C-alpha cells in the first residue's frame, strides 16, 4: 500500500496511486519522444538534402511543433504563441478524449472496448443524417444540433450494447464481438451513404465520395469564445462539452452507487453477483455507456461543420477509435486524466504536420513518430506496476520495526543462580 507519513498518518501525495500513474505516463511519454527524436536523426542522416541544422530543426518540431510560428525572413524556425496550432490541437483532441473515455470506462468495469471505431462510425452516420435532414427542413439550428447529437450518441450506445449482450448472456469475449461489429458498422455506414444520393457532396467537383459538411446547412457547434482565444483555428465549444462529459464520468464512477457497482463488477464479477449486484445488467450498461462516449466524439467532431466525412469507410476504420486505447492507457483509465492524454496525442499530430511542411522530412516520418509514441504508451501500465512495487518495498523497509528481544535466561543460568547473584 502507499507509504504514509509517520506523523500525520496520511498518504504522501507524491506516493499516492494517482501520482504513480502520472509518473508512469510521463516516463512513457519521455521515452516515446526520445525515440521519435532518434528516428528524426536517423532519417535525416539517410537523406542528402537534410543538413545537421535540418536535423536539429526536426527535433525541435517534435517537441515544440505546436508552438511553431513558421520561419522568419532569414529562414530560421520561430516559436511562440500560435493560436491556429493550439486551437487545432484542442479541436483534434475532442474525438480522442471521447474515445479515450470510452475505452477507460470499459476498462474500469473489466471490459476491453476495442469496438470504439464501429461505435464512432455509427455516431457519425446518425449525426450527419439527422443534422442534414433537419437543416434542409428548416428546423431551428439549436434544436437540430441537439437532435443530431442525441441520435448519434444513441446509435453508438445501441451498437455498444451488442458486445455487452454477448458477454453478459453467453460469456463471449467482447474483443471478438467488438472486432466483428466494427466491420459490420463500416459496411453498414458505407451502404447507408452510398444508397442516399442526397447526402453526397456532388456540388463540389471530385468530392462525390464525401458527405455534405454541416456548415452548408448551418447546424454547427457554437464557438463559445474559442474563436476569440484561438482566432483562425477550428476550435469550438465541442472542447468544453468534452471536458464536462469527462468530469461527469469521473463523478459517476467515483461518487455514485451506480459507478461503484460498475467498478465492483470489473474487479470481480462473481463476487459482485454474490453481493447482490446484477452483473449482467452492469456489463450491458457499461458497454452501452462506452458506445455513447465513442459516438459522442464523432458527433462533436462533425458538428464542428468544417469537417467532411468520406463515406467509403470499408477501406479502413477510423483511427480515432483505436487511438483512444493509448489515450486511456496514458491516463491510467482516469476520466480526468484522459483530457490531458488526449490533448497530448493531439499535440503530436499537430507537431507531425509542422514537421512535414516546415522541413525536408516527408509526410511518413511524422506518422512513424506518432506510431512509436502510441505503441510505447502501452508500457505505462508496466511502469506503473514497477513504480508501485518500488514504493511498497520502500514502505516496508522504512516502516519495519525490530521485533523486541525475547526475555530468555542466558544459557546455563538458573533461577537459583540468579538469586545468588542478586545477593552478592
Domain span including residue 308: 84-347
Question: Quick one: pLDDT at residue 419?
Answer: 46
Question: Quick one: pLDDT at residue 114?
Answer: 93
Same domain? 53 vs 196: no
Same domain? 76 vs 88: no
Same domain? 298 vs 378: no
Same domain? 93 vs 179: yes
Same domain? 127 vs 63: no
Question: Quick one: pLDDT at residue 164?
Answer: 94
The CA distance from 189 to 123, in Å, is 10
In a domain, 235, yes or no: yes
Same domain? 142 vs 183: yes
Same domain? 75 vs 90: no
CA angle 38, 381, 285 (to 5 degrees): 125
Question: In 3-state terms, what secondary structure has residue 310?
Answer: strand
Q: Which residues of the chain have pLDDT under 50?
A: 1, 400-401, 403, 406-412, 414-424
From the list 361, 417, 388, the residue with the least C-alpha distance to 50 is 361
Same domain? 90 vs 214: yes
The CA distance from 119 to 162, in Å, is 11
The CA distance from 386 to 395, in Å, is 14
Number of domain units in the chain: 2
- Distances 245 to 1, 226, 240, 296 between C-alpha atoms, Å: 31, 18, 9, 10
Same domain? 211 vs 88: yes
Same domain? 115 vs 185: yes
- Picking from 313, 347, 381, the residue at the C-terminal end of a domain is 347
Summarize the chain as % helix, strand, coil (round to 5): 70, 5, 25
Same domain? 133 vs 28: no
| Axis crossing angle, helix 279-302 with helix 116-136, rounded to the nearest 10 | 50
pLDDT digit string (tens) for 189-221? Answer: 999 998 888 888 876 666 667 898 999 999 999
In a domain, 289, yes or no: yes
Question: Quick one: pLDDT at residue 206?
Answer: 62
In a domain, 405, yes or no: no
Question: Quick one: pLDDT at residue 85?
Answer: 93
Same domain? 75 vs 91: no
Q: Do 346 and 93 form a contact (C-beta atoms < 8 A)?
A: yes
Amino acid at each position: 500500500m502507499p507509504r504514509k507519513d509517520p506523523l500525520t498518518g496520511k498518504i504522501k501525495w507524491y506516493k499516492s496511486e494517482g501520482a504513480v500513474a502520472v509518473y508512469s505516463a510521463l516516463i512513457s511519454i519521455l521515452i516515446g519522444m526520445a525515440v521519435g527524436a532518434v528516428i528524426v536523426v536517423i532519417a535525416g542522416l539517410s537523406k542528402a538534402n537534410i543538413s545537421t541544422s535540418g536535423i536539429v530543426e526536426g527535433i525541435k518540431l517534435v517537441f515544440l511543433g505546436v508552438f511553431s510560428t513558421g520561419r522568419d525572413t532569414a529562414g530560421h524556425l520561430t516559436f511562440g504563441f500560435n493560436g491556429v496550432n493550439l486551437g487545432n490541437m484542442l479541436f483534434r483532441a475532442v474525438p480522442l478524449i471521447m474515445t479515450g473515455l470510452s475505452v477507460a470506462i470499459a476498462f474500469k468495469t473489466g471490459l476491453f472496448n476495442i469496438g470504439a471505431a464501429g461505435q464512432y462510425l455509427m455516431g457519425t452516420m446518425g449525426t450527419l443524417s439527422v443534422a442534414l435532414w433537419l437543416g434542409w427542413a428548416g428546423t431551428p439550428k439549436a434544436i437540430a444540433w441537439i437532435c443530431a447529437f442525441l441520435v448519434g450518441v444513441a446509435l453508438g450506445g445501441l451498437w455498444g450494447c451488442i458486445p455487452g449482450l454477448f458477454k453478459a448472456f453467453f460469456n463471449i469475449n467482447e474483443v471478438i464481438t467488438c472486432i466483428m461489429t466494427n466491420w459490420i458498422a463500416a459496411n453498414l455506414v458505407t451502404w447507408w451513404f452510398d444508397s442516399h444520393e442526397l447526402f453526397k457532396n456532388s456540388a463540389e467537383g471530385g468530392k462525390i465520395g464525401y458527405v455534405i459538411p454541416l456548415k452548408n446547412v448551418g447546424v454547427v457547434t457554437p464557438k463559445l469564445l474559442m474563436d476569440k482565444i484561438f482566432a483562425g483555428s477550428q476550435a469550438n465549444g465541442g472542447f468544453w462539452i468534452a471536458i464536462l462529459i469527462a468530469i461527469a464520468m469521473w463523478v459517476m464512477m467515483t461518487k455514485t452507487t451506480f459507478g461503484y457497482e460498475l467498478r465492483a463488477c470489473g474487479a470481480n464479477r462473481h463476487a459482485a453477483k454474490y453481493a447482490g449486484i446484477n452483473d449482467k445488467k452492469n456489463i450491458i450498461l457499461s458497454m452501452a455507456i462506452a458506445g455513447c462516449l465513442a459516438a459522442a466524439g464523432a458527433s462533436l467532431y462533425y458538428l464542428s461543420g468544417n469537417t467532411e466525412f468520406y463515406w467509403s469507410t470499408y477501406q479502413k476504420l477510423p483511427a480515432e477509435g483505436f487511438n483512444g486505447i493509448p489515450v486511456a492507457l496514458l491516463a491510467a483509465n482516469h476520466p480526468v486524466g484522459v483530457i490531458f492524454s488526449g490533448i497530448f496525442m493531439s499535440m503530436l499530430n499537430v507537431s507531425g504536420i509542422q514537421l512535414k511542411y516546415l522541413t525536408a522530412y516527408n509526410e511518413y516520418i511524422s506518422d512513424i513518430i506518432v506510431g512509436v509514441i502510441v505503441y510505447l504508451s502501452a508500457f505505462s501500465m508496466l511502469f506503473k506496476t514497477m513504480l508501485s512495487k518500488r514504493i511498497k518495498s520502500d514502505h516496508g523497509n522504512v516502516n519495519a520495526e525490530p521485533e523486541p528481544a525475547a526475555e530468555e535466561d542466558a544459557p546455563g543460568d538458573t533461577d537459583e543462580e540468579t538469586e545468588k547473584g542478586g545477593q552478592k
